[in-house]
Amino acid sequence: MTLSDWLAHCERLHPATIDLGLERVERVRARLGLAFACPVVTVGGTNGKGSTCAMLEAIAAHAGWRVGVYTSPHLVHFEERCRVGGEIVAADALVPHFEAVEAARGDVSLTYFEFTTLAILRLLSQAALDLAVLEVGLGGRLDAVNVIDADCAVITSIDIDHTAFLGPDRESIGFEKGGILRAGRPAIVSDPLPPQSVVDHATKIGADLWLVGRDFSFSGDRQQWSWQGRSRRYAGLAYPALRGANQLLNAAGVLAAFEALRERLPVTAQAVRNGFATVELPGRFQVVPGQPSIVLDVAHNPHAVATLARNLDQMGFYPHTHAVFGAMQDKDTPAMLATMRPLVDHWHFCDLPIARAATAQALAAQFAALPPAAQGPSANVACHASPRAALAAAVAAADPADRIVVFGSFYTVGGVLEAGLPQRSAPQPD
């Protein structure tokens, strides 16, 4: 069986796409004897997880450590979820680990995410790593990644998302996110206003809680920034290569994690500088050169879209902004649309190739139902059968000096990347 065969097999195994709980996953993990000999960092939160993982990976790699990373979901190819030594693993390298999980599970039913997580964790556990970085999928307490006891946990920003599974407010969601913390081990919280439930849980279990503003802090100007922890500080740092207003918060949490792990995983100041300078992460406020400019961002909840809007507002002047937007039915799409409406002149709504996605027509109806804009002309609206078709229409309609923003879901950004970006003119010199 190929990797594609195994992924199709995983989709048929369990009656529910999401079935939170660790009992089934833990039984199979124990049968596999799955454990890590190297330090493990788990990264949970609502937004900023992917960026945090990428910065942890880049700095540790520049320090000379062999790093393995698990993130989800992927943009185009499943193998993107697993990197070892900075390289995406080959599909064939994953197959033996799918076979091992299948042999170990017996009559235990696993969801697609649980099965694939165990397979990737098994590969990473056998990859002779110096550091494993594991992104939590949904929530934390009951997520499959949480069967691994992390040496350090990082919690990024916490906001309202996946309320059907995690609860209706930040306190409920914070409790679920806090489930990745471990007694006596560093718990890095880079949310500047963390839910009290996170702090209470860390105190209850005796985690070594690091709070931004108390245990570590940062400051910056237009040119550079500085960071201070419990016993270490960095000055004159260049901004991370990842774009966006919230990246300093993510970067500050990353440096706190390295300080907390310094005895087992020391990194030099030069590794920190080089890591921030070279870090890459597709689909996170990724500006693609050319005319018109294209911005790719997987923002898929109101908090992330608000950050996207701030970042777009800081880009400079563009005569018109065209938006390609596709999203899941369970998202607060009216809030996302309302946030972006002042910035967007032309909307291209698109269907997505997944059953739980909202249709382009439904998104257009939600946009039409928004209260009248306080100012500015009405935006143009069109519906398309795919992200690829929506982007092609946006490129055709845009002037060279305009910009196009693609957002709303991993499937939206992945859909345009999978098809390849349309041919555009080269950027003109200033």
CA 68 to chain centroid: 16
Contact 160, 47 (CB under 8 A): no
Nearest alpha-carbon partner for 251 in 290, 296, 281, 294: 281
Q: How far apart are CA 85 and CA 319, in angstroms?
A: 43
Contact 275, 55 (CB under 8 A): yes
pLDDT of amino acid 241: 93
pLDDT of amino acid 428: 60
The structure tokens listed for 417 are 């990347």
pLDDT block averages, 10 residues each, the chain of length 430: 96 80 94 98 93 97 98 94 97 98 95 96 98 91 94 90 71 90 97 94 97 95 93 95 86 98 97 96 90 94 91 92 96 93 95 94 94 66 96 95 96 92 68
Contact 114, 34 (CB under 8 A): no
The structure tokens listed for 286 are 């990724």
The structure tokens listed for 352 are 């997505």
Q: Are strands 208-211 and 186-189 parallel, antiparallel or unpaired?
A: parallel
Nearest alpha-carbon partner for 245 in 300, 301, 310: 310
Q: How far apart are the first and last CA of the chain?
A: 53
pLDDT of amino acid 200: 96
The pTM for the full model equals 0.89
pLDDT of amino acid 78: 96
Distances (CA, A) of 102 to 6, 31, 63, 288, 404: 10, 11, 37, 41, 44
Cβ of 74: how many Cβ atoms within 10 Å? 14
> Looking at the DSSP assignment, which residues form a beta bridge with residue 346?
322, 380
> Looking at the DSSP assignment, which residues form a beta bridge with residue 293?
403
What angle do the packed helices 112-125 and 91-105 form, to 10 degrees?
A: 110
pLDDT of amino acid 175: 87
Instruction: Classify residue 411 by its DSSP letter.
Output: H
Residue with tokens 């599974």: 165
pLDDT of amino acid 162: 62
Contact 324, 412 (CB under 8 A): yes
The structure tokens listed for 358 are 């909202």
Torsion of Cα atoms, 385 then 391 then 393 then 394, to 10°: 140
pLDDT of amino acid 35: 97
Q: What angle do CA 121, 123, 125 make, to 5 degrees?
A: 65
pLDDT of amino acid 375: 40
Q: How far apart are CA 145 and CA 56, in angstroms?
A: 18
- Full set of structural domains in the chain with CATH: 3-278 (3.40.1190.10), 286-419 (3.90.190.20)
Nearest alpha-carbon partner for 117 in 101, 132, 105: 101
The structure tokens listed for 240 are 């991370």
The structure tokens listed for 318 are 């563009």
Distances (CA, A) of 237 to 57, 223, 249, 272, 277: 18, 9, 14, 9, 10
**Which residues are CB-contacts of 186 (< 8 A; sequence separation ≥ 6)?**
151, 152, 153, 207, 208, 210, 256, 257, 260, 261
